[in-house]
Protein backbone atom coordinates (compact mmCIF):
# COMPACT_ATOMS: atom_id res chain seq x y z
CA UNK A 1 0.00 0.00 0.00
CA UNK A 2 2.85 2.33 0.91
CA UNK A 3 4.53 1.60 -2.45
CA UNK A 4 1.33 2.56 -4.27
CA UNK A 5 1.11 5.78 -2.27
CA UNK A 6 4.69 6.66 -3.19
CA UNK A 7 3.95 6.05 -6.85
CA UNK A 8 0.88 8.27 -6.62
CA UNK A 9 2.94 11.03 -4.99
CA UNK A 10 5.52 10.80 -7.78
CA UNK A 11 2.76 10.99 -10.38
CA UNK A 12 1.28 14.06 -8.71
CA UNK A 13 4.68 15.74 -8.52
CA UNK A 14 5.42 14.93 -12.15
CA UNK A 15 2.06 16.16 -13.42
CA UNK A 16 2.52 19.25 -11.27
CA UNK A 17 5.77 19.99 -13.08
CA UNK A 18 4.13 19.43 -16.43
CA UNK A 19 1.41 21.90 -15.51
CA UNK A 20 4.05 24.37 -14.43
CA UNK A 21 5.81 24.13 -17.78
CA UNK A 22 2.51 24.24 -19.64
CA UNK A 23 1.55 27.31 -17.63
CA UNK A 24 4.79 29.10 -18.58
CA UNK A 25 4.34 28.26 -22.25
CA UNK A 26 0.64 29.08 -22.15
CA UNK A 27 1.26 32.48 -20.57
CA UNK A 28 3.69 33.40 -23.34
CA UNK A 29 1.38 32.08 -26.07
CA UNK A 30 -1.63 33.83 -24.55
CA UNK A 31 0.27 37.13 -24.39
CA UNK A 32 1.36 36.69 -28.01
CA UNK A 33 -2.21 36.15 -29.17
CA UNK A 34 -3.24 39.29 -27.31
CA UNK A 35 -0.30 41.21 -28.86
CA UNK A 36 1.22 41.81 -25.41
CA UNK A 37 4.97 41.91 -24.78
CA UNK A 38 6.41 39.54 -22.17
CA UNK A 39 9.18 40.18 -19.65
CA UNK A 40 10.59 36.69 -19.11
CA UNK A 41 12.81 36.35 -16.03
CA UNK A 42 15.15 33.40 -16.59
CA UNK A 43 17.00 32.14 -13.52
CA UNK A 44 18.54 28.97 -12.09
CA UNK A 45 17.94 27.18 -8.81
CA UNK A 46 20.98 28.75 -7.15
CA UNK A 47 20.20 32.24 -8.39
CA UNK A 48 19.93 34.36 -5.28
CA UNK A 49 19.15 37.47 -7.33
CA UNK A 50 16.12 36.08 -9.14
CA UNK A 51 13.74 38.12 -6.98
CA UNK A 52 15.64 41.32 -7.83
CA UNK A 53 15.25 40.59 -11.54
CA UNK A 54 11.58 39.76 -11.03
CA UNK A 55 11.09 43.07 -9.20
CA UNK A 56 12.66 45.04 -12.08
CA UNK A 57 10.47 43.20 -14.60
CA UNK A 58 7.36 44.03 -12.56
CA UNK A 59 8.45 47.65 -12.35
CA UNK A 60 8.68 47.74 -16.15
CA UNK A 61 5.21 46.19 -16.40
CA UNK A 62 3.79 48.87 -14.11
CA UNK A 63 5.57 51.68 -15.95
CA UNK A 64 4.47 50.53 -19.40
CA UNK A 65 1.29 52.22 -20.60
CA UNK A 66 0.28 49.24 -22.70
CA UNK A 67 -0.60 45.88 -21.17
CA UNK A 68 2.24 43.39 -20.66
CA UNK A 69 3.02 40.14 -18.84
CA UNK A 70 5.81 39.06 -16.46
CA UNK A 71 6.79 35.38 -16.44
CA UNK A 72 9.37 33.52 -14.32
CA UNK A 73 11.30 30.50 -15.60
CA UNK A 74 13.83 28.23 -13.88
CA UNK A 75 16.25 27.18 -16.62
CA UNK A 76 17.45 24.18 -14.59
CA UNK A 77 13.99 22.68 -14.43
CA UNK A 78 13.92 19.75 -16.88
CA UNK A 79 10.39 20.60 -17.99
CA UNK A 80 11.64 23.95 -19.30
CA UNK A 81 14.24 22.33 -21.55
CA UNK A 82 12.32 23.16 -24.74
CA UNK A 83 11.96 26.82 -23.76
CA UNK A 84 15.64 27.06 -22.82
CA UNK A 85 16.51 25.72 -26.26
CA UNK A 86 14.02 27.96 -28.05
CA UNK A 87 15.32 31.11 -26.37
CA UNK A 88 18.98 29.97 -26.50
CA UNK A 89 19.51 30.27 -22.76
CA UNK A 90 22.00 27.41 -22.32
CA UNK A 91 25.16 28.93 -20.84
CA UNK A 92 23.63 32.41 -20.61
CA UNK A 93 24.51 34.56 -17.56
CA UNK A 94 21.62 34.41 -15.11
CA UNK A 95 19.37 35.90 -13.98
CA UNK A 96 18.48 37.33 -17.37
CA UNK A 97 15.40 39.32 -18.35
CA UNK A 98 14.24 38.68 -21.90
CA UNK A 99 11.79 40.88 -23.77
CA UNK A 100 9.50 38.77 -25.95
CA UNK A 101 7.54 40.69 -28.56
CA UNK A 102 3.95 40.33 -29.69
CA UNK A 103 4.89 37.53 -32.08
CA UNK A 104 6.49 35.45 -29.34
CA UNK A 105 10.06 36.16 -30.48
CA UNK A 106 12.93 37.45 -28.36
CA UNK A 107 13.51 41.12 -29.11
CA UNK A 108 16.33 41.62 -26.60
CA UNK A 109 17.54 40.87 -23.12
CA UNK A 110 19.44 42.31 -20.18
CA UNK A 111 21.48 40.72 -17.41
CA UNK A 112 20.56 41.85 -13.92
CA UNK A 113 23.44 44.31 -13.48
CA UNK A 114 22.39 46.18 -16.64
CA UNK A 115 18.63 45.90 -16.23
CA UNK A 116 16.34 48.82 -15.45
CA UNK A 117 12.64 49.13 -16.12
CA UNK A 118 13.32 51.94 -18.61
CA UNK A 119 15.84 49.87 -20.60
CA UNK A 120 13.46 46.90 -20.72
CA UNK A 121 10.65 49.05 -22.06
CA UNK A 122 12.98 50.49 -24.70
CA UNK A 123 13.67 46.96 -25.93
CA UNK A 124 10.02 46.42 -26.86
CA UNK A 125 10.00 46.66 -30.67
CA UNK A 126 7.57 48.68 -32.76
CA UNK A 127 4.96 46.79 -34.82
CA UNK A 128 7.06 46.86 -38.00
CA UNK A 129 10.24 45.94 -36.16
CA UNK A 130 8.35 42.94 -34.75
CA UNK A 131 7.53 41.89 -38.32
CA UNK A 132 11.20 42.17 -39.19
CA UNK A 133 12.28 40.14 -36.15
CA UNK A 134 9.71 37.45 -36.96
CA UNK A 135 11.06 37.07 -40.50
CA UNK A 136 14.69 36.89 -39.36
CA UNK A 137 13.81 34.40 -36.62
CA UNK A 138 12.28 32.21 -39.33
CA UNK A 139 15.53 32.43 -41.30
CA UNK A 140 14.15 34.68 -44.05
CA UNK A 141 15.57 37.73 -45.76
CA UNK A 142 13.59 40.97 -45.61
CA UNK A 143 12.78 43.75 -48.07
CA UNK A 144 12.03 46.84 -46.01
CA UNK A 145 10.29 49.43 -48.19
CA UNK A 146 10.26 52.90 -46.63
CA UNK A 147 7.77 55.23 -48.29
CA UNK A 148 5.21 58.01 -48.03
CA UNK A 149 1.67 57.74 -49.31
CA UNK A 150 2.35 60.66 -51.67
CA UNK A 151 5.17 58.79 -53.46
CA UNK A 152 3.86 57.68 -56.87
CA UNK A 153 6.30 54.78 -57.35
CA UNK A 154 5.60 53.03 -54.05
CA UNK A 155 3.17 50.46 -55.49
CA UNK A 156 5.52 49.49 -58.33
CA UNK A 157 8.40 49.09 -55.87
CA UNK A 158 6.31 46.92 -53.55
CA UNK A 159 5.22 44.83 -56.54
CA UNK A 160 8.87 44.29 -57.53
CA UNK A 161 9.67 43.20 -53.99
CA UNK A 162 6.75 40.76 -54.11
CA UNK A 163 8.12 39.31 -57.35
CA UNK A 164 11.56 39.03 -55.72
CA UNK A 165 9.96 37.13 -52.83
CA UNK A 166 8.47 34.70 -55.36
CA UNK A 167 11.90 34.13 -56.89
CA UNK A 168 13.27 33.52 -53.38
CA UNK A 169 10.90 30.59 -52.92
CA UNK A 170 9.12 31.86 -49.80
CA UNK A 171 12.44 32.61 -48.12
CA UNK A 172 11.88 36.35 -47.94
CA UNK A 173 9.17 38.80 -46.90
CA UNK A 174 8.29 42.45 -47.49
CA UNK A 175 7.93 44.87 -44.59
CA UNK A 176 6.55 48.30 -45.50
CA UNK A 177 7.22 51.31 -43.27
CA UNK A 178 5.50 54.66 -43.66
CA UNK A 179 7.92 57.57 -43.10
CA UNK A 180 5.10 59.42 -41.36
CA UNK A 181 4.42 56.62 -38.86
CA UNK A 182 5.48 58.02 -35.47
CA UNK A 183 5.57 54.54 -33.93
CA UNK A 184 8.38 53.58 -36.29
CA UNK A 185 10.75 56.51 -35.62
CA UNK A 186 13.29 54.29 -33.85
CA UNK A 187 13.33 51.73 -36.67
CA UNK A 188 13.72 54.49 -39.25
CA UNK A 189 16.60 55.93 -37.26
CA UNK A 190 18.26 52.52 -37.01
CA UNK A 191 18.02 52.14 -40.78
CA UNK A 192 19.47 55.66 -41.12
CA UNK A 193 16.57 56.72 -43.30
CA UNK A 194 16.45 60.13 -44.91
CA UNK A 195 13.16 61.45 -43.55
CA UNK A 196 13.06 63.93 -46.44
CA UNK A 197 13.48 61.30 -49.17
CA UNK A 198 11.60 62.05 -52.41
CA UNK A 199 11.28 58.41 -53.48
CA UNK A 200 10.76 55.14 -51.61
CA UNK A 201 13.90 53.42 -50.36
CA UNK A 202 14.27 49.64 -50.22
CA UNK A 203 16.58 48.12 -47.62
CA UNK A 204 17.50 44.49 -48.16
CA UNK A 205 18.40 42.42 -45.10
CA UNK A 206 19.84 38.93 -45.43
CA UNK A 207 18.72 36.13 -43.04
CA UNK A 208 21.47 37.15 -40.60
CA UNK A 209 19.89 40.57 -40.25
CA UNK A 210 22.56 42.49 -42.14
CA UNK A 211 21.66 45.28 -44.57
CA UNK A 212 23.09 43.94 -47.83
CA UNK A 213 21.53 46.45 -50.20
CA UNK A 214 19.98 49.92 -50.23
CA UNK A 215 18.04 51.02 -53.30
CA UNK A 216 16.41 54.37 -54.09
CA UNK A 217 13.30 54.27 -56.26
CA UNK A 218 12.37 51.42 -58.59
CA UNK A 219 14.91 48.59 -58.52
CA UNK A 220 15.50 45.62 -60.80
CA UNK A 221 14.09 42.41 -59.33
CA UNK A 222 17.31 40.48 -59.98
CA UNK A 223 19.28 43.01 -57.93
CA UNK A 224 16.84 42.60 -55.07
CA UNK A 225 17.23 38.82 -55.18
CA UNK A 226 21.03 38.85 -55.37
CA UNK A 227 21.25 41.28 -52.44
CA UNK A 228 19.00 39.10 -50.30
CA UNK A 229 21.25 36.10 -50.96
CA UNK A 230 24.48 37.80 -49.89
CA UNK A 231 26.35 35.82 -47.25
CA UNK A 232 26.83 37.19 -43.69
CA UNK A 233 29.79 39.50 -43.27
CA UNK A 234 30.01 39.74 -39.50
CA UNK A 235 27.69 42.71 -39.09
CA UNK A 236 24.61 43.55 -37.09
CA UNK A 237 20.97 44.02 -37.84
CA UNK A 238 19.13 47.34 -37.27
CA UNK A 239 19.59 48.76 -33.79
CA UNK A 240 22.88 46.99 -33.20
CA UNK A 241 21.21 43.67 -32.38
CA UNK A 242 23.29 40.59 -33.02
CA UNK A 243 22.89 38.86 -36.33
CA UNK A 244 20.79 35.71 -36.35
CA UNK A 245 17.43 36.84 -35.05
CA UNK A 246 17.94 40.41 -33.79
CA UNK A 247 18.47 39.41 -30.20
Q: Determine the length of the chain.
A: 247
Q: Are residues 118 and 131 in the same domain?
A: no
237: pLDDT strictly greater than 60: no
Q: Are residues 113 and 138 in the same domain?
A: no
Please check whether residues 148 and 178 belong to one and the same domain. Answer: yes
Q: Looking at the structure, tell me whether residues 32 and 47 fall in a common domain.
A: yes
Q: Establish if 247 belongs to a structural domain.
A: no
Range in 22-36, 45-59, 76-90, 197-211 the model is least confident about: 22-36
Q: What is the pLDDT of residue 233?
A: 65
Domain contains 12: yes
State pTM to two decimals. Answer: 0.78
Alpha-carbon gap, residue 77 to 73, rounded angstroms:
8
pLDDT at 34: 87
Is 19 a residue whose pLDDT tops 80?
no
Distance separating alpha carbons of residues 185 and 178, to the nearest angstrom: 10
Maximum CA pair distance of the chain?
A: 82
Neighbours of 59 (CB within 10 A): 18
Shared domain check, 174 and 196? yes
Considering 99, 122, 145, which residue would you say is the last residue of a domain?
122
245 within a domain of the structure (yes/no): no
Same domain, 75 and 161: no
Q: Residue 137 — pLDDT band, cuts 50, 70, 90?
A: very high
Q: What pLDDT, on the 0 to 100 scale, is given for residue 183?
A: 94
Tell whether 205 and 111 lie within a shared domain: no
Average pLDDT for the chain: 85
pLDDT value of residue 27: 81
pLDDT for the residue 47: 63
Residue 196 is classified by DSSP as: T
- DSSP codes joined into one string, 128-189: HHHHHHHHHHTT-EEEEEEE-TT-TTHHHHHHHHHHHHHHTTS-EEEEEEETT-GGGHHHHH
Asked whether residue 246 is domain-assigned, the answer is: no
Q: For residue 163, report the phi and psi dihedrals to the nearest 5 degrees.
A: -65, -40
CA atoms within 13 A on the CB side of 190: 22
Cα 127 from Cα 29, distance rounded (Å):
17
Domain co-membership, 109 together with 159: no
Our CA dihedral for 143, 149, 151, 157, rounded to 10 degrees, sits at: 30
CB atoms < 10 A from the CB of 81, how many? 13
Same domain, 58 and 156: no
The per-residue pLDDT for 25 is 73
Q: Please give the pLDDT value at position 241.
A: 43
Domain with 87 in it: 2-122
Residue 29 sits in the same domain as residue 112? yes
Domain boundary among 98, 122, 146: 122
- pLDDT at residue 234, rounded to an integer: 57
Asked if the model's pLDDT at residue 26 lies above 80, the reply is no
Last residue of a domain, one of 122, 157, 191: 122
For residue 91, the domain's CATH number is 3.40.30.10
Amino acid sequence: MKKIQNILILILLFTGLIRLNAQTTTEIEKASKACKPVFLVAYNASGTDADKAFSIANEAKKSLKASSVVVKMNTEDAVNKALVSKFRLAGAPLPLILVIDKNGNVAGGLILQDATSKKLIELIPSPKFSELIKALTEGKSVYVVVYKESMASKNSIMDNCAVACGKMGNKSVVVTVDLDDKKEIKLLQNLKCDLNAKDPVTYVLNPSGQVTGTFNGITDVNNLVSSAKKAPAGGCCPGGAKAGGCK
